[in-house]
C-alpha cells in the first residue's frame, strides 16, 4: 500500500508554514514534502519533523529567480556556477533537515546544448554528494511552457546518460496525464528508476480521486511494480484541506 507525503506548499495553506507540519501529522500523514523550504531555518524544520514524528520525503533545490520566471537551472548553458551554488544551498539545508530526496529542476531551455548541460550538471551534483538522493521530473508543457524535461522517455534517457546510482525519477501522475497520458504504462516503464511519485486530479489539480485519473487503479499499479517510496500529494484542495481528505482514509497508517 502506498505511503503518502503531504506537500506543505499546497496543503494546509490555511495555516502558517510552520503549523502545517502538525496539521499533516494530525490528518494521518507520516511524511511531508514541499517546494522550497529555505525561508524557514533548517533547524526549525528538523525540530518540527521530530516533534510530529514526520519524515521529510522531498524538497526542491533553489530554482533561480522564481519571481522573474526561472524554473530551475540545471539545463541552462552558461549558468553552471549558479546551479552549483543552488545545489550547495540544498545540500546545506539537507544536512540538517535530512530529506529523502532533492529535486533538481531543469529550467526553461531547449536544444542539444541544454541537454548536454543538463546531463553534465546532474552528473556533477550526484558525484559531489553521493550520500544524497536526487530526482528529475518531467513537467507538462501546458503548466510550464518551455520546460526542458517534459516526456518520460527523455527523463529515462537523461538518467541513463548520467549513470549515477543516487539519481532517480520523480513521476508526477498529473503532469504525465496532461503531457502524454497512458499513466499505468508510464509507471511500469519507470519502475526500475522510480524514486518518488506525486498525484493530483486532472485537469484542475485538485484532490487526486477526482477528474480523469483512475486513482485507485494507479495506486494498485504502484504496488504491482513494488514501489516503496512516497507518493507526494501535490494538489490544490478544492476547499479546506481536511474536508477533501476522504480519499486518504483507506491509506491512512496512523
pLDDT in tens, 202-222: 999 999 999 999 999 999 999
pLDDT at 146 over 80: yes
CB 6 within 8 A of CB 58: no
- Tell me, what's the pLDDT at 253? 84
pLDDT at 33 over 80: yes
Please list the alpha-helical segments (H only) found in the chain: 17-26, 42-51, 80-97, 112-128, 152-162, 173-179, 183-190, 215-224
| 3 state DSSP class of 59 | strand
The residue annotated as part of the active site, out of 30, 137, 179, 207, is 137
CATH of domain 3-251: 3.20.20.150
Q: Which residues pair with 199 in a beta bridge?
A: 233
Q: Which residues pair with 170 in a beta bridge?
A: 196
Which three cell numbers, joined as nine digits, stand for 148?
526542458
Q: Which residues pair with 198 in a beta bridge?
A: 172, 232
- Tell me, what's the pLDDT at 106? 99
pLDDT at 50 over 80: yes
Mean pLDDT (the chain, rounded): 98
Q: Is 137 a catalytic residue?
A: yes
Cα–Cα dist 45/40, whole Å:
7
- Tell me, what's the pLDDT at 118? 99
Cα–Cα dist 1/227, whole Å:
9
Residue 108, Cβ neighbours under 10 Å: how many? 18
Q: Is 43 a catalytic residue?
A: no
CA-closest candidate to residue 189, choices 165, 162, 157, 216 = 157
Q: How far, rounded to the nearest angstrom, does the alpha carbon of residue 34 sit from its chain's CA centroid?
A: 8
pLDDT in tens, 69-103: 999 999 999 999 999 999 999 999 999 999 999 99
- Tell me, what's the pLDDT at 254? 77
- For the chain, what percent of residues have pLDDT higher than 70? 100
pLDDT in tens, 154-204: 999 999 999 999 999 999 999 999 999 999 999 999 999 999 999 999 999
Cα–Cα dist 109/147, whole Å:
6
Which three cell numbers, joined as nine digits, stand for 239?
476547499
Provide the whole-model pTM: 0.97
Amino acid at each position: 500500500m502506498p505511503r503518502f507525503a503531504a506537500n506543505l506548499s499546497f496543503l494546509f495553506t490555511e495555516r502558517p508554514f510552520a503549523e502545517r507540519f502538525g496539521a499533516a501529522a494530525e490528518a494521518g500523514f507520516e511524511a511531508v514534502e514541499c517546494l522550497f523550504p529555505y525561508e524557514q531555518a533548517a533547524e526549525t524544520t528538523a525540530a518540527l519533523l521530530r516533534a510530529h514524528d514526520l519524515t521529510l520525503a522531498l524538497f526542491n533545490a533553489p530554482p533561480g529567480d522564481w519571481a522573474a520566471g526561472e524554473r530551475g537551472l540545471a539545463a541552462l548553458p552558461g549558468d553552471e556556477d549558479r546551479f552549483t551554488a543552488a545545489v550547495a544551498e540544498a545540500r546545506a539545508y539537507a544536512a540538517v533537515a535530512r530529506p529523502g530526496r532533492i529535486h533538481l529542476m531543469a529550467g526553461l531551455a531547449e536544444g542539444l546544448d541544454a541537454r548536454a548541460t543538463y546531463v553534465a550538471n546532474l552528473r556533477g551534483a550526484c558525484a559531489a554528494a553521493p550520500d544524497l538522493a536526487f530526482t528529475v521530473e518531467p513537467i507538462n508543457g501546458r503548466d510550464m511552457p518551455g520546460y526542458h524535461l517534459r516526456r518520460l522517455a527523455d527523463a529515462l534517457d537523461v538518467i541513463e546518460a548520467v549513470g549515477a546510482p543516487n539519481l532517480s525519477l520523480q513521476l508526477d501522475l498529473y503532469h504525465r496525464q496532461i503531457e502524454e497520458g497512458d499513466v499505468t504504462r508510464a509507471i511500469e516503464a519507470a519502475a526500475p528508476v522510480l524514486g518518488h511519485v506525486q498525484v493530483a486530479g486532472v485537469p484542475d489539480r485538485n484532490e487526486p480521486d477526482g477528474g480523469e485519473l483512475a486513482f485507485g487503479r494507479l495506486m494498485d499499479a504502484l504496488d504491482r511494480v513494488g514501489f516503496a517510496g512516497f507518493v507526494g500529494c501535490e494538489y490544490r484542495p478544492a476547499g479546506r484541506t481536511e474536508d477533501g481528505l476522504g480519499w486518504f482514509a483507506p491509506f491512512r497508517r496512523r
